[in-house]
């Protein structure tokens, strides 16, 4: 029997230790750092940057000389050698002019260098560079999006936790009310209907308590998923919602100008406009002649350029300057230029639309922030008034000067006021985070 109790105690201790290990206190800054470290979306965005950089390097390499070495061995069928026989008056001897060589070895080194391509390679390299810079700005935009999502998830979890605290306190408050009414009924100072009303109120509060517990779990799991830690980890909020300050009283026009200047998506689109402009120059390069330099070095056995043919390695070389120009290609170059110009205009329109959308977003975020700031002030006053109303009503109720329904109304009003205050505080934090994201910080 003693062994069984020791086993149970050890099991409970180990389970409690395991539970404690899954608990983690977390500030909003720590949550942001974890998200940046563990985000798969950011890793994918970083790989797109690496891809764009590699593509730019590949495109720029086309402007540099290329060196290629090839080698081959060929086995030929045996054929009679080409011989010449002298007439008898010259001695009647014969000699071989072209022996039959069945083993052929070829070694070749080729060097190619574009000399002039109508600026196509320069423009293509510039377009690839601008695309790579745009990908870097996309990474910055994705980073800002992840940070904003984590802030939303963190403060939503904070809100769910605070709501749960309010509901828990309300449940205890209504339970105390119920005990008072039951005691008063025993003394003949309250009716059964009064008790039933409080019990209904308690049931409603307990239902809200169940919902609040579930909302806390869901919000915590969502936050854990965003910051890349095990979903079952129990998070303990270690940050407080900030208070409105003078730093939030900024000029709207200045904020819009700041957003248009430093938003990464604006910078990315500007780079894409430059890339599209380079694409136009690359397409127009088809109107120009293309000039290339080619040089080859041969080390062959036999080397066909050396006569008579010998079964030995001999080296030779050649240099070529080639020029090509499309005289007529059924308007292919013209159509390519039109396509590139259309893409340029599309990119410019997208940039203009983006700036309009950012102006609207910053304006809405600015107004929402100031609305949230004002709501905090009003909600705080509401809590103070509701608390005082509850205190007075509760005192009057215990003295028999207020009805049961009056106290029930005071409890509901206090619950609503405290809920509104928590909502206002979290809304302010989220509005500040959204404005920060909208201006590109």
Q: Give the residue among 286, 296, 407, 277 at the shortest CA–CA distance from 345.
A: 277
For residue 225, CA distances in Å to 37, 56, 221, 394, 438 come to: 13, 35, 6, 44, 24
The whole model's pTM is what? Answer: 0.81
pLDDT tens for 146-193 read 999 999 999 999 999 999 999 999 899 889 888 888 888 888 888 889
How much is the pLDDT for 148?
93
pLDDT(407) > 80:
yes
pLDDT(11) > 50:
no
How much is the pLDDT for 8?
44
pLDDT tens for 294-349 read 999 999 999 888 888 888 999 999 999 999 998 888 888 899 899 999 999 999 99
Tokens 């942001």 appear where?
A: 32
pLDDT-derived band at 6 (thresholds 50, 70, 90) equals very low
In sequence order, which residues have a C-beta less than 8 Å from that of residue 357 and are 6 or more positions away? none
Output the average pLDDT for the chain. Answer: 87
346-353 mean pLDDT: 95
Inter-residue contact 163 to 212 (CB < 8 Å) = yes
For residue 315, CA distances in Å to 254, 303, 320 come to: 73, 7, 17
How much is the pLDDT for 185?
86
By DSSP bridging, strand 103-116 and strand 66-75 are: antiparallel
Q: How far apart (Å, rounded) are the C-alpha atoms in residues 377 and 380?
A: 5
In sequence order, which residues have a C-beta less than 8 Å from that of residue 433 and are 6 or more positions away? 148, 151, 152, 155
Of the candidate ranges 2-11, 135-144, 280-289, 428-437, the one whose mean pLDDT is the lowest: 2-11
Q: How far apart (Å, rounded) are the C-alpha atoms in residues 344 and 204?
A: 62
Inter-residue contact 132 to 55 (CB < 8 Å) = yes
How much is the pLDDT for 95?
64
How much is the pLDDT for 335?
92
pLDDT(2) > 50:
no
Percent of the chain, pLDDT > 70?
Answer: 90
pLDDT tens for 209-256 read 999 999 999 999 999 999 999 999 999 888 887 777 655 557 899 999
pLDDT(67) > 90:
yes
């Amino acid at each position: 029997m003693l062994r069984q109790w020791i086993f149970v105690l050890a099991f409970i201790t180990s389970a409690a230790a395991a539970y404690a290990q899954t608990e983690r206190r977390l500030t909003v800054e720590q949550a942001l750092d974890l998200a940046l470290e563990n985000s798969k979306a950011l890793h994918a965005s970083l790989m797109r940057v690496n891809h764009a950089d590699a593509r730019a390097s590949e495109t720029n390499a086309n402007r540099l000389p290329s060196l290629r070495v090839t080698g081959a061995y060929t086995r030929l069928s045996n054929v009679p050698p080409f011989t010449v026989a002298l007439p008898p008056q010259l001695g009647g001897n014969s000699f071989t002019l072209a022996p039959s060589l069945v083993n052929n070895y070829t070694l070749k080194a080729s060097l190619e260098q574009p000399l002039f391509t109508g600026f196509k390679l320069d423009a293509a390299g510039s377009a690839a560079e601008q695309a790579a810079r745009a990908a870097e700005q996309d990474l910055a935009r994705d980073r800002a999006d992840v940070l904003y999502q984590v802030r939303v998830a963190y403060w939503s979890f904070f809100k769910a936790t605070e709501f749960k605290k309010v509901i828990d306190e309300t449940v205890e408050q209504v339970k105390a009310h119920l005990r008072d009414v039951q005691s008063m009924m025993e003394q003949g100072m309250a009716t059964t209907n009064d008790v039933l009303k409080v019990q209904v109120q308690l049931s409603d509060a307990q239902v809200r308590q169940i919902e609040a517990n579930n909302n806390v779990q869901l919000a915590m799991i969502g936050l854990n998923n965003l910051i890349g830690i095990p979903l079952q980890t129990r998070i303990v909020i270690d940050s407080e919602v900030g208070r409105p300050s003078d730093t939030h009283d900024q000029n709207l026009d200045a904020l819009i100008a700041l957003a248009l200047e430093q938003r990464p998506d604006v910078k990315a689109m500007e780079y894409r406009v430059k890339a599209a402009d380079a694409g136009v120059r690359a397409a127009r390069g088809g109107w120009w002649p293309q000039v290339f330099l080619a040089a080859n070095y041969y080390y062959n056995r036999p080397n066909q350029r050396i006569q008579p043919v010998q079964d030995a390695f001999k080296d030779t070389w050649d240099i070529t300057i080639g020029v090509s120009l499309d005289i007529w290609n059924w308007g292919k170059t013209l159509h390519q230029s039109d396509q590139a110009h259309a893409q340029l205009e599309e990119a410019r329109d997208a940039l203009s639309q983006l700036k309009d959308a950012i102006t609207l977003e910053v304006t809405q975020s600015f107004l929402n922030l100031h609305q949230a700031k004002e709501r905090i002030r009003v909600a705080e006053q509401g809590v103070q008034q509701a608390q005082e109303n509850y205190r007075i009503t509760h005192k009057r109720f215990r003295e028999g000067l207020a009805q049961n329904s009056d106290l029930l109304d005071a409890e509901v009003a206090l619950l609503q006021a405290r809920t509104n205050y928590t909502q206002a505080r979290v809304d302010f934090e989220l509005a500040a985070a959204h404005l920060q994201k909208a201006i590109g910080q």
